[in-house]
């Protein structure tokens, strides 16, 4: 814990009067580092995000001022975070028949690689960062900022995924933060339809994108037919 605080001391001190910003900083790399490195190497106790943030406040004298109202400010942070836009990528094979999904360790959800955007990041930078963190591959040269799908859900929740249709199936994929991702796998579009039709909870996070993705694929295939004709 002390090592994690030392690594993030400058950011924490800079935003010491802003509890929401402090929680946002801690909920990103520091929390996953604690789970991934701390739990594996030192077998530390698993903490929820709120418990982790609370413990950091207790250990930093310049952050102790936020302890009395921690429950209220962390609840406010949780509501705020839901409104932070999410960016990522849909990685299709060349034939556009299969797509990469990652399985989260914590809840076992099947998801497209994606994450909340950090301050100062562009949409593309956020997507590139998260894909690299979750599958260990840099998509900088593959991503096209004009090819994307987006969903704007309830509570102003916004998710935008850039679509890449040239991802190699034989590509070796491995997360850079192992505690966050349990499995990386190609699924066929037909297979995903079956899972979503059965309303399987593990696939609930991709259901909204499946219809728009199928339309995108049809449009791309039709445009190729027109070109070849």
Structural contact between residues 169 and 151, judged by C-beta atoms closer than 8 angstroms: no
Whether 40 shows a pLDDT value over 90: the answer reads no
- Whether the CB-CB separation of 166 and 128 falls below 8 Å is answered with no
Mean pLDDT across 36-60:
83
- In terms of pTM, does the model score above 0.85? no
Percentage of residues in the chain having pLDDT higher than 70: 93
Q: Which of 131, 141, 122 is nearest to 90 (CA)?
A: 131
CA dist list (Å): 101 to 68, 104, 121, 135, 192: 41, 10, 24, 10, 10
For strands 86-91 and 158-164, give the pairing: parallel
State whether the Cα torsion 82-148-28-21 is positive or negative. negative
Tens digit of each residue's pLDDT (9 = 90 or more) over 116-142: 898 889 999 999 999 999 999 999 999
Q: Which domains, ranges and CATH numbers included, belong to the chain?
A: 2-81 (no CATH), 85-228 (3.90.79.10)
Q: What are 173-186's pLDDT values in tens digits?
A: 998 876 778 899 99
């Amino acid at each position: 814990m002390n090592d994690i605080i030392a690594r993030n001391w400058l950011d924490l001190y800079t935003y010491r009067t802003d509890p929401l910003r402090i929680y946002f900083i801690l909920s990103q790399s520091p929390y996953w580092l604690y789970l991934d490195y701390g739990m594996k190497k030192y077998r530390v106790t698993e903490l929820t995000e709120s418990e982790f943030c609370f413990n950091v406040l207790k250990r930093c004298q310049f952050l102790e001022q936020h302890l009395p109202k921690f429950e209220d400010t962390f609840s406010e942070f949780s509501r705020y975070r839901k409104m932070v836009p999410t960016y990522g990528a849909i990685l299709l094979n060349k034939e556009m028949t299969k797509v990469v999904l990652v399985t989260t360790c914590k809840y076992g959800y099947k998801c497209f690689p994606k994450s909340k955007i950090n301050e100062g990041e562009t949409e593309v930078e956020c997507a590139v960062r998260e894909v690299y963190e979750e599958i260990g591959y840099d998509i900088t040269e593959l991503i096209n900022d004009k090819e994307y799908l987006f969903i704007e859900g309830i509570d102003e929740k916004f998710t935008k995924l850039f679509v890449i249709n040239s991802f190699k199936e034989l590509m070796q994929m491995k997360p850079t933060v192992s505690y966050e991702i349990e499995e990386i796998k190609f699924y066929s579009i037909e297979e995903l339809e079956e899972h979503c039709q059965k309303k399987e909870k593990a696939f609930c996070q991709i259901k909204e994108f499946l219809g728009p993705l199928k339309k995108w694929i049809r449009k791309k295939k039709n445009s190729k037919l027109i070109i070849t004709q």
